[in-house]
A and B are shown apart, each in its own frame.
Chain A
């Protein structure tokens, strides 16, 4: 394996910020194919990290830190990707904590897990108005939109987003997943969501099944 690609992979898995960003810059400076940087360096690191997490070899904070660093490295690579006219591979996910709710711990865990499974994650943040979520779906054309709510009083916003997607003519173009402590499969079914997961690892499994129609086998 290319030494610099390997260094990027190792530094990203170790959440070594300076090391990972430095390796990314070096690769870009030498004119490396940005898709190769993304796939063989960064995505591969996250997939390996995810496998180690599944085996109980790394802690969740290490995964979250790596996922945040992945985002920083992606920001460096993106201009080169756009310039080369290449599209990012990987299923795209838009995530948000719904309007009125500032809790995002669970969402952030799911985002980190999704990245380790090779998803391209766009996290809109917390307390996100329905209109902004719909606009993000329109612009970014994700395969999945994930909606998080921790409060029983903000959970109904998830229904609101689904209704707004229908009104915008976008509902048929995206799978909707819902989650959060008070959320249940019954609620998800009631509001017409495509998927629900009670935990971050489950969310990855459900997302993969939604997109492939095949049980993922992810434990």
Chain B
């Protein structure tokens, strides 16, 4: 019986967020996170970013920097507790932080599982279909520009094509896809064309950039470069360590949680060093692995507990938290997919996230996306919103005393006046009610000024030409 969420704005988390750690336990996680950064250090391979850190007076051996706690504490304190990201339509703006929950579909997949059961490398047409579906889905508040990676676009300029269609076919804020300094700069420049110039997007950000450390404890040139470009332009950054306990993090969850905390804090501190006051999201993804085969496994208790723990740590630092989402190793929308997705979503949702990536569409351990899985995930997101936004009106009419007087003991409420009166506001949506075909049929392409579209295409053509010439 969820009220329709205001499209693009997220929904309010209505429950009290709860702590899983005692104060002493949280202190221990905090202390170990800081010790990792101080004693083990953080490798920053992107020279301009490294230089900034050295200018801060930090100790370093080559590109291995010791981030002392004073530096980390000072910088993290500069990060805002909440911030706004706007879409092409003002109605679509989202607030990240506070009790707002903002959802985004999956991202980064190279393959699409088609309705006929065949898995193929993604194409531009697949990409556009998924962007349209995101636009049509009320539960998706942010467009994922990396929802799939179209294999039929040239690699060197693909990031611009993807961001362009995310801007063109949807009017929600989006996560850009540029993942090197040069590509991130292109994405920022493209956004500047789309949103009235660089000064304007710096004043009022339009994208949520995703930056992943290469765990453990390093930013490679690509991620360091993209962090620097997005931060310089004032575009908020979601720091997203992706840890596999036993492989890229310690097998014991305490170590993995401390590492996730350290990597998120390091990223936040780096963003604040580049441009103080830029929005950041404390994000972490701790998965466990199959210790026989080595592949990640999803929906485990350990991963869920890690999520809840990291949400608490994010609250400790006054930072918005990213969790999520509907993860599975399944290669089909089958029972395993449902089970793993639900067991991933429950702790992700109970963590009270500010932002959730991969909330819909994820399959096969991040390798594939499917329309059916997208729709299946939307079904449960509906129920999650109802529960967690505490949509439980407790006014006098809701208590329905007049209905009891009408129906009496042993009667039925089916035809009661109260029931008829309440139909519009209290109709439950059954699970399995989202139909992606109907959603796509109902999709309306948001209007775009023809001149603006020409400007965007011209920018991309010129930039692609430059890239091609540079590649020889």
Instruction: Give the shortest distance, in Å, between B229 (CB) and chain A (any CB).
Output: 16
Cβ 8 A contact of B293, one of A60, A105, A186: A60
Residue B278, interface by CB 8 Å:
no
A49 → B minimal CB distance (Å): 13
Which residue of chain A has its CB nearest to the CB of B179? Answer: A153
How many positions in chain A have a CB within 8 Å of any CB in the partner chain? Answer: 22
A103 touches B155 (CB 8 A): no
- B220 contacts across to A, CB distance below 8 A: 102, 127
- Taking CB atoms and an 8 Å cut-off, the chain B residues in 49-65 that contact chain A are none
Q: Residues of A contacting B192 with CB < 8 Å?
A: none
Complexed CA–CA distance, A152 and B218 (Å): 20
- Report the separation of the CA atoms of residues A109 and B248 in the bound assembly, to the nearest whole angstrom: 13
> Which of B151, B214, B295 is in CB contact (< 8 Å) with A103?
B214
Cβ–Cβ < 8 Å partners of B294 in chain A: 60, 105, 109, 200
Which size class do B's interface residues fall under? 20 to 34
B258 to chain A minimum Cβ distance, whole angstroms, is 20
Chain B min CB distance to A154 (Å): 9
Say yes or no: B291 contacts A61, CB within 8 Å: yes
Q: Which of B110, B180, B244, B294 has the most CB of A within 10 A?
A: B294
CB contacts (< 8 Å) of A61 on chain B: these are: 246, 251, 291
Pairwise interchain contact A182-B110, C-beta atoms closer than 8 A? yes
**CB <8 Å contact, B155 and A153:** yes
Residues of B close to A151: CB separation below 8 A: 179
Chain B proximity of A207: nearest CB distance (Å): 17
Chain A residues contacting B295 (CB-CB under 8 Å) are 199
A129 lies within 8 A of chain B by Cβ:
no
Given the interface contacts A100-B222, A105-B247, does A184 sit within 8 Å of B292 by beta carbon? no
Q: Is A132 an interface residue (CB 8 A)?
A: no
Q: Is A82 at the interface (CB under 8 A from chain B)?
A: no
Cβ-neighbour of A105 out of B110, B218, B248, B291 (below 8 A): B248
Instruction: Give, as a whole number of angstroms, the nearest-CB distance from B456 to chain A.
Output: 22
CB contacts under 8 Å to A, within B424-465, are none
Q: For window 100-127 of chain A, which residues contact chain B by CB distance below 8 Å?
A: 100, 102-103, 105, 109, 127
Interface residues of B (CB under 8 A from A): 110, 121, 149, 151, 155, 179-180, 214, 218, 220-222, 244, 246-248, 251, 291-295, 366-367
Chain A interface residues toward B at CB < 8 A: 53, 56, 59-61, 100, 102-103, 105, 109, 127, 151-153, 156, 181-182, 184, 186, 199-201
Name 8 A/B residue pairs within 8 A (Cβ), A-sorted: A53-B292, A60-B291, A100-B221, A105-B248, A105-B294, A153-B180, A186-B121, A199-B295
